[in-house]
Structures are given as C-alpha cells and as structure tokens.
C-alpha cells in the first residue's frame, strides 16, 4: 500500500509540475508522520521520502530518537510552537514552518545555536480559528525580524480551509505566492523568501500549480484507499 501511494503522489506531483511548466526539482514533498509509527516512517525513507514532519515537539523528538541511525532525514516542525518548548527542539530541526509572533522569534533567537530556517505562517483566509499573520501585516512583520540574527525567513506558509472549493483554494494559494514575490523583491538579507510551504493531502496538486515549493502530505501516504 505504502509503495503504491508513494508512486501515486509522485505521479501527481510530476503532473502538477508539467501543468504549471515547472521543474520537478522545484518541489519538495514532506511526509507528515504524526499519525504513524517510526517503523512506518522508516518504510517511507526506504522508498526515498526523506523529508519528515511532525506538528508536536514530543512526537518529533520520539521519532528522532527511534530513527537516530538514519542520517539522511530532513526534519520539519510544522505545528504551533510554545515558547517554553523552543529550547528542547529548535536545534534539532532543519525547518520550522510556523513562525507567527515576535515573542516566539525572540525565544528562538535566544535558544538557537545556528541560523534557523523559518517559514512565516500566514492566515490568508482570515479564519478566526487559525494561527498566522494577517496577509496585510506580513511585510511589516518580516521587516521587524531583521534584528533576530538566528532567524532566516526562507519563505511563507499557509493552509487553505479544509472544505473549501477549488476556486477558493486557488485564490488563497495565489495570494500567498504574490506576497512571497513581494517579500523576495525587497532583497532583505534575513529574508530571502524564495520558498512556499502550502498544500496538504487534499490540495497539494493545486498548491504546486500555484507555486508551492514544499507540500506537506500525510493522509495520502498512509491511506488504505
């Protein structure tokens, strides 16, 4: 099942890249392993999927310990990070996908031993129950991050509403792409902002067509369908 799902996702990514006239090399597929065991995660790695993501600090640390003999993994923390947990995880990840406040940035800057590659989380849809910086405040927020020398803003991240139709999803992803281009054009040293983390199991093909460079896929890897 897993092998079949990996092949299907790869076919879908290739198709979405071709449709949008993009190189397959531009898109990184991240496997969100929060619902599966370390053994299942290892199976994915053996199939060539080496970007792994967790949304909880404790689960990420558990996976890292269980997979400590697998050096090729790139680790992503994609969930909300409480300030009190920063010190336990920030030097053990390769990418952080949910930077959304200056207070969190301050704590990361305090605890980091090297420059941390971060995505600024953006609430494009304006949903009140979602984390993230409002779209119109993104540039001001990123400009303020200039003073935190351990943070590099590699890109922006968002999530589309789960049950939205394709037109709404496309609009949300397109708006984030436009904002990413705006930030990149500022040529800020601390914020190259070349990347876009958007798209999950239900909408990653749309995300790729709208410019995603990282897609975060969980269910589609592990579903029995």
How many Å is the Cα radius of gyration of the chain? 17
CA–CA distance, 96 with 154 (Å, rounded to integer): 10
pLDDT digits (tens, 9 = 90+) for 115-159: 999 999 999 988 888 889 999 999 999 999 999 999 999 999 999
Return d(Cα 35, Cα 46) in angstroms, integer.
Answer: 18
Helix boundaries (H) for the chain: 2-19, 38-46, 57-66, 86-89, 102-111, 138-144, 166-184, 204-209, 219-222
pLDDT of residue 225: 60
List the domain boundaries for the chain. Answer: 2-14+28-222
pLDDT along the chain (225 residues), means of 10: 93 97 97 94 94 97 95 95 97 98 98 98 88 96 97 97 91 98 98 98 97 97 79
| Assigned fold of 2-14+28-222 | TIM Barrel (3.20.20)
Give the model's pLDDT for residue 15: 97
Stated pTM of the model: 0.96
The Cα–Cα gap between 19 and 10 comes to 14
């Amino acid at each position: 099942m897993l092998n079949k799902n990996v092949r299907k996702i790869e076919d879908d990514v290739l198709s979405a890249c071709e449709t949008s006239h993009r190189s397959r090399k531009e898109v990184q597929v991240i496997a969100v392993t929060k619902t599966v065991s370390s053994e299942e995660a290892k199976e994915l790695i053996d199939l060539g999927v080496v970007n792994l993501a967790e949304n909880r600090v404790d689960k990420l640390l558990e996976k890292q310990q269980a997979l400590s003999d697998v050096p090729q993994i790139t680790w992503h923390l994609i969930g909300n990070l409480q300030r009190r947990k920063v010190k336990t995880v920030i030097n053990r990840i390769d990418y952080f996908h949910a930077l959304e406040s200056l207070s969190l940035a301050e704590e990361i800057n305090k605890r980091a031993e090297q420059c941390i590659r971060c995505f600024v989380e953006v609430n494009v849809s304006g949903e009140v129950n979602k984390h993230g910086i409002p779209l119109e405040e993104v540039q001001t927020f990123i400009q303020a991050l200039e003073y935190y020398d351990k943070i590099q803003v590699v890109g922006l991240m968002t999530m589309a509403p789960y049950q939205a139709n394709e037109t709404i999803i496309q609009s949300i992803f397109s708006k984030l792409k436009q904002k990413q281009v705006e930030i990149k054009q500022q040529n800020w040293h601390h914020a190259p902002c070349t990347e876009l983390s958007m798209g999950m199991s239900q909408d990653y093909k749309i995300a790729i067509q709208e410019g995603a460079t990282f897609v975060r896929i969980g269910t589609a890897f592990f579903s029995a369908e």
